[in-house]
Amino acid sequence: MSRFLVWCAPKSLYTRLVAPFALHREAVEMPNPIPLKDHEKETRLVNQRLIACAVLVGLLAACLVARMYFLQVTEFDYHSTISENNRVHVLPIPPERGLIFDRNGEVLADNRPSFNLTLTRERAGDWHKVIDELMTLLELPDEDRILFDKELKQVRHPFEPATLLYELTEEQIAILAVNQYLLPGVDVAAQFVRHYPLGAHFAHSIGYVGRINEKEASHLDNEYRGTQSIGKTGI
């Protein structure tokens, strides 16, 4: 009769060699369950988002339509007037004063052309820099800078040119023409000025033409856009 030997492996050896394979087999044979998607819930969520977006777009469209109606219907007259005023710019043209003769036909007062330098602040941009360029190019004294600032402060309306220099010489006009690109808002304007061939001999009766001073300007209407010179005393 054959004899068989039965050998029992120690438990620690079994744990090291056999147990890992057993656990691996269980992991392969029993995977974690995959959760199924709830299509109804996802559909409801998408529909809710679409409705919210539609409501938001509708509100924005309603606000836009209401604003357009307010501007184009309710406020039509107001904005139409503003647009017309921006399109049309009224520029006053000083009239030429009449000649004055004595009984022998001799001219006591007439007019002669004068070329003046004007500056429009709205067109000049940095008008302080423009005045600095003028002072340098025309070699003007420092006292003129104070007068320029005073003239610019007396401007009553937007885009109204301020006259800074009178009776420019031909040399000064040539310098300004060559350096026009450095002087935005600066123009040379021609106008007639009063001339008295006999000087001041008849000033007490003929009178004279002078600039509007601050006291006289305070009595003018705010919408006054006439000339900057007026007749004073005499005829």
Question: Which pLDDT score is estimated for 6?
Answer: 44
Same domain, 59 and 128: no
Of the residues 35, 58, 75, the one at which a domain ends: 75
What phi and psi, each to the nearest 5 degrees, are found at residue 124?
Answer: -80, -25
Domain assignment present for residue 188? The answer is yes
Question: Which pLDDT score is estimated for 25?
Answer: 47
Rounded CA gap, 233 and 228, in Å?
Answer: 16
Same domain, 62 and 104: no
Same domain, 167 and 66: no
Structure tokens at 115: 């070329």
Same domain, 57 and 167: no
Same domain, 160 and 200: yes
Total domains present in the chain: 2
Same domain, 68 and 114: no
Domain assignment present for residue 202? The answer is yes
Structure tokens at 42: 């996802």
Which residue shows structure tokens 């209401």?
66
Of the residues 75, 92, 118, the one at which a domain ends: 75
Question: Which pLDDT score is estimated for 175?
Answer: 92
Question: Which pLDDT score is estimated for 54?
Answer: 92
Question: Which pLDDT score is estimated for 36?
Answer: 62
Domain assignment present for residue 36? The answer is no
For residue 90, the SS3 value is: coil
Structure tokens at 145: 């800078």
CB 191, CB 94: distance < 8 Å: yes
Supply angle C-alpha 156, 168, 177, rounded to 5.
90
For residue 20, the SS3 value is: helix
Domain assignment present for residue 92? The answer is no
Same domain, 70 and 137: no
**Domain hosting residue 134, numbered range:** 100-234
Domain assignment present for residue 216? The answer is yes
Same domain, 57 and 163: no
Tens of pLDDT along the chain (235 residues)? Answer: 444 444 454 545 545 555 555 544 444 455 566 666 667 778 888 888 899 999 999 999 999 999 999 888 888 888 888 877 777 767 777 778 888 888 888 888 888 888 999 998 888 888 889 999 999 999 988 888 888 888 888 777 777 888 889 889 999 999 999 999 889 989 998 888 888 887 777 777 777 777 776 676 666 666 666 666 777 776 6
Sequence-ordered alpha helix ranges (H) in 92-235:
121-124, 127-137, 142-153, 170-178, 203-206, 214-217
Same domain, 104 and 71: no
CB 185, CB 202: distance < 8 Å: no
Same domain, 110 and 218: yes
Domain assignment present for residue 88? The answer is no
Residue 149, domain CATH: 3.90.1310.10
Question: Which pLDDT score is estimated for 35?
Answer: 65
Question: Which pLDDT score is estimated for 217?
Answer: 67
Same domain, 216 and 106: yes
CA dihedral 38, 44, 46, 49 (to 10 degrees): -140
CB 117, CB 165: distance < 8 Å: yes
Same domain, 127 and 65: no
CB 165, CB 147: distance < 8 Å: no
